[in-house]
Amino acid sequence: MKPLIQKLTETFSPSGYETAIREVIRREVEPLADDLRVDALGNLIVRKGPSTGSGTAKGGKRIMLAAHMDEIGLIATHIDENGFVRFTGIGGIRPHALTGGRVRFVNGTAGVIGVERLTDPSKAPTLEQCFIDVGASSPKDCPVKVGDVCGFDRPFLDLGRRLVAKAMDDRIGCAVLIETLRALKSTPHELYFVFTTQEEVGLRGAHTAAFGVEPEIGLSVDVTGTGDTPKGSRMAVSLGKGPAVKVKDSGMLSDPRVVAWMCASAEKARLPYQREVLEGGTTDAMAMQVSRAGVPVGCLSIPSRYIHSPSEMVDYEDVQNAVKLLTALVSKPVEW
């Protein structure tokens, strides 16, 4: 999977600009799909299995599997008299992770993020104190204009078992869906592998996709934080101990039946897994859960360090086990 993960993470596609990553994913999944379409919001929707609503076998369901294609980014708000670009975030930006980072704009312009001199070095800078230096000396020779969008410019790093890249959130989820689609031999379900848009700015793609798919069960595949770094969060999730079954996050309570189904499937397949409670953040599962008349949902999480930074880290075995668990889940009937 490593070449696929590198290809996905190094593709530049912030929220609202998902065309490039959608084309990369489309080339991977088109030969595997029974049906494929792109909706009005840019979601890539891939159907696999019977198209008869609730499947052809006992326990067959219409299941939506969602991973978002977009990544966080920055958007220019002002060019000052010396050619420095001021900006705000597209999605959740952490100013303390920006200083010295390199970015690339949609038009190809590269730059480095700087910060004003801090009067109190003990405090992290705010976004208002950050700027992008593209080598310009005035607004006239600055190749960036107000409204131009950029993203982190950082190469994929293979540390063996640990993988580092910008946009692991959530290209790693996209990789898991692609590899599950490849591994799937048969299914009693009508499966919709949905690569969603604009998750980082409000789960927008998942809202519209779920309305169109009308799933009976929804599963998102996304990253989650860990509690395994020095003085890190008090969280019972670590890299290398398996994918996590989400019980709760700040926007969603997983359906207990879905949690039990996921845990039992992992145990039956003898796959390592963790149970997750995330106190901040949510996923596309929240949007699916409240679509139309409501959907029972859950989330398969990939433990990740340094989320929403230019260097997000995952464990390769966790990723591989996520593919195995998701394949096991959708290969057999659901019996609640």
Whether the predicted pLDDT of 54 surpasses 60:
no
The answer to whether 297 touches 262, Cβ cutoff 8 Å, is no
Find the range with the poorest average confidence among 52-56, 217-221, 228-232.
52-56
3-state per-residue secondary structure call for 197-210:
CCCCCCCHHHHHHH
Cis peptide before 170 (omega within 30 of 0): yes
Task: Name the pTM for this structure.
Answer: 0.94
Query: Was domain 73-152 assigned CATH 2.40.30.40?
Result: yes
Out of 53-67, 138-152, 205-219, 304-318, pick the least confident: 53-67
For residue 130, what pLDDT band results from cuts at 50, 70 and 90?
very high
User: Average pLDDT in the 235-258 region?
Assistant: 96
- The span from the CA of 106 to the CA of 170, in Å, is 20
pLDDT at 52: 60
Average pLDDT, rounded, for the chain: 95
Name the band, by pLDDT with cuts 50, 70 and 90, for residue 67. very high
15: tokens are 């929220």
Q: Which long-range contacts (CB under 8 A, 24 or more apart) does 201-205 make?
A: 201/15, 201/16, 201/70, 201/90, 201/91, 203/282, 203/283, 203/284, 203/286, 203/287, 204/41, 205/41, 205/42, 205/43, 205/68, 205/70, 205/284
Q: pLDDT category, 53, cuts 50, 70, 90?
A: low
Residues 140-176 pLDDT 10s: 999 999 999 999 999 999 999 999 999 999 999 999 9
The counts of H helices and E strands in the chain are 7, 17
- DSSP-derived 3-state class of residue 36: strand
> Given this model, what pLDDT does residue 56 score?
52
- 87-101 pLDDT, tens digit per residue, is 999 999 989 889 899
- Which tokens sit at 199? 């998750």
- Where do the domains of the chain lie? 2-71+166-331, 73-152
Marked catalytic residue, from 71, 199, 200, 312: 199
Q: pLDDT class for 189, splitting at 50, 70, 90?
A: very high
Who's near 262: CB < 8 A, 6+ residues apart?
245, 273, 298, 300, 325, 329
- Please tell me the distance from the alpha carbon of residue 259 to that of residue 110, in angstroms, as a whole number: 44
What percent of the chain lies above the pLDDT cut of 70?
98
CATH of domain 2-71+166-331: 3.40.630.10
Q: Determine the pLDDT at residue 55.
A: 46
Residue 199 catalytic? Answer: yes
